[in-house]
Structure 1
Amino acid sequence: MSVLGKGRRGVPLAAVGLAAVLLAGGCGAGGVQNDSAPAAKAPAGGAADQGQAAPGEAGAGAPDLRVDQRSIIYTGTVQVQVDDVERAAREAIATADAAGGFVGGDQRRSESADARAELELRVPAAKFTEVVDELAKLGRQQRREVHTQDVTEETVDLDARITSQRARVDSARRLLSRATSTSELVSLENELGRREADLASLEAKKRRLADLTALSTITVTFVGKDASTEEEPADIGFLAGLRGGWQVFVASVTVLLTVLGALLPWLVAVGLPVALLIRVLRRRRRRRTPPAGPMPLAPPVGPMPPAGPMPLAPPAGPPGGPTAPPPVPATRSAP
């Protein structure tokens, strides 16, 4: 009985011990798995650290290409003094064509004393500096101005707005396909048209920026050898005012003569017939009017009578003549 009792007591104890061992093993396995997670994440962190260090190592040996990935608009202005303006203009056009560009504007003045040519060249942005240097070598460079405008943020903003607007257009189209009433159909069509117009405007701005960043603008001016190399200061004083007034007077006379020259054919075509007609009418009037007779002569004037006393006025009336009636007495009216 004692042995059996001890054996029965030992079985539960063994079971409890086996369960404790299994539980401890499970916990140990979980602990090993948790401890191995940071070790698995360590290579990722190391890779990130290596990725952060890579630009520094690349910057030490290779050029940084981040600037080339930005959207930059290049514009340049060059003035060159040459011996032959026409030949320099032809060479500048050939340089732009060789670089893959074209001529956007061409203004020339071929006067020998003050010849001048102004060209607007559009060349790829990658060839901007090279073309500017080639243009400066055509003669003696007098002035060079280069301006840059970074539109990277504007380009990124336009891309985001275009993507969002396209999604709005697609949403409006889906709603339009599900419209059930006429009023809802009309409203959705108006909304779709407005969204498509906004999308077209954004895309046009994006194309404009893409054109300006892809093709740079160079304005080159060629002047002759007799042209002044320095900007003349503004003249002031009496002589300058007199010179300016004379120029204005000459210009006014020139305008007046131009107007008279324009009116002269009309004066000849209309004025001469009118003058002849007036002359004929005057002649007819003279023929119809009778000639005036001689003026009557005044009677001869005799000698003046001698001066004497003035005769007295005759009396009011002769004694036997009519007399004035007596005055009528005034009568009183009855009350």
Structure 2
Amino acid sequence: MQKRGFICIFVLSLALMLGACSSSSGNSASSKEAIGGAASDMESTSHSSSISGADTNSPAKEDTATAAKDPKQAASGFTDSENKAGADKKLIYKAELSMRVKDYTKVQTEIRNQVGQAGGYIVQFSENQNDQQLGGSFIVKIPAAGFTSFIDGVGKIKHESLDQNIEGQDVTEEYIDLESRLKAKLIMEERYTSFMKKATKTDELVKFANELGRIQEEIEQAKGRMRYIDNNVAYSTVTIHLFQREGTAGNVDSGKEDTPLMEQAGNALSGTLHVLSLFLQGLVVVLAGAFPILVVGPVLGWVIWRVRKGRAKRRAVTRDALRKDISGKAMVDADSNSVEDNNKDSDS
């Protein structure tokens, strides 16, 4: 019994010791977790404070402040910082402007001057004029570095209304893909060139030559596309539509009332001569078209008339002959009757 009691006491004491150890280890682990969490909180706090400190001096806020100070620059749609941010990328910028102006000729001259000052050039120009409206369209190429300033300069020109549409296209991925494909094609070109040098059979030489020609064609296509992208990245495209409001273009003719009398008479005479020349031209055209009929018709009519006249003459001669025959027979019959009567009388 004492032995059993001793064993129970030993087991209980061992259990108490194990429980105390486990609780102490749990407390130490929890303390370590608390310390680690506090450290992480401190790191996150310091990190957020550093980020907030960086934000206060970040270029984005500087750009926002600059845009707020210079609303005209922000109105163009692109700031200088955005252009700098895209310097490492292949970006193609396009803009389309539609302006309604009072003096079309003056504005057209100003735009030409601004294109020259920006270092650009005019690709296409078209103009349309009538009694109701006067307008024209420019398609110009402007260096990408001066794209924003050129748009702002055009917007400062005196106008009645202005519509802008600015678009940017990122072709960086396409350009990188073209570069990688070009490198691969150049390597293939070198290999096929070496194959052609080592080829001894005619069929192999022809096969290598055909494949080399195809590869070289793909190389030229890739280079052409890259040149196109480089040109459009270096020079932005700007399309400008100008038109003068209705009624302003008609003011050009408003001075006709003050025209001198002799000038008005000369204008009237020139108008009459112009109409007369048009009439004569039309008459010549009609006569030229009717010339075959005018020549052949009378000749044909004269032939028909002669034929009919000959027929009528022959009919008249025939009728006269018949009349003569009939009259001759009648006279013969009358003579014979008179002879018979005479004979009868003599007999009696």
Verify same fold: TM over 0.5: yes
For the pair shown, the structure with the greater C-alpha radius of gyration is 1
Of 210, 233, 239, which residue of structure 1 is paired with 2:230?
210
The match for 1:100 is 119
The match for 1:286 is 305
Q: How does 1:1-335 map to 2 (within 5 A)?
A: 60=57, 66-111=85-130, 113-140=132-159, 141-226=161-246, 265=284, 267-289=286-308, 290-291=311-312
Considering fraction of residues, name the structure with more helix. Answer: 2
AA at the equivalent of 2:144: A
Report deviation, 1:71.
0.9
Q: TM-score, normalised by structure 2?
A: 0.54
Report deviation, 1:261.
10
Deviations 1:94-120 (A, max 9, x none): 211111110011011244631101101
AA at the equivalent of 2:171: V
Distance 1:219 1:262, change over 3 A: farther
| Stretch moving more, 128-137 or 65-74 | 65-74
Distance 1:174 1:114, change over 3 A: same
Q: Secondary structure at the match of 2:87?
A: coil
Q: TM-score, normalised by structure 1?
A: 0.56
Is the contact between residue 116 and residue 224 of structure 1 (CA under 8 Å) also seen in structure 2? yes
Could you tell me how far apart the structure 1 residues matched to 2:115 and 2:149 are? 10
Could you tell me how far apart the structure 1 residues matched to 2:56 and 2:180 are? 30
Distance 1:127 1:178, change over 3 A: same
Could you tell me how far apart the structure 2 residues matched to 1:156 and 1:281 are? 85
Report deviation, 1:205.
0.8
Deviations 1:35-58 (A, max 9, x none): xxxxxxxxxxxxxxxxxx99x969
The match for 2:334 is none
Report deviation, 1:162.
0.8
Unpaired segments of 5 or more residues in structure 2? Answer: 1-49, 61-80, 249-278, 320-348
Instruction: Let me know the Cα RMSD of the aligned residues.
Output: 3.1
Report deviation, 1:127.
1.1
Identity of aligned residues (%): 22
AA at the equivalent of 1:220: I
Q: Secondary structure at the match of 1:113?
A: coil
Q: Secondary structure at the match of 1:122?
A: strand
Distance 1:57 1:67, change over 3 A: farther
Unpaired segments of 5 or more residues in structure 1? Answer: 1-52, 229-259, 295-335
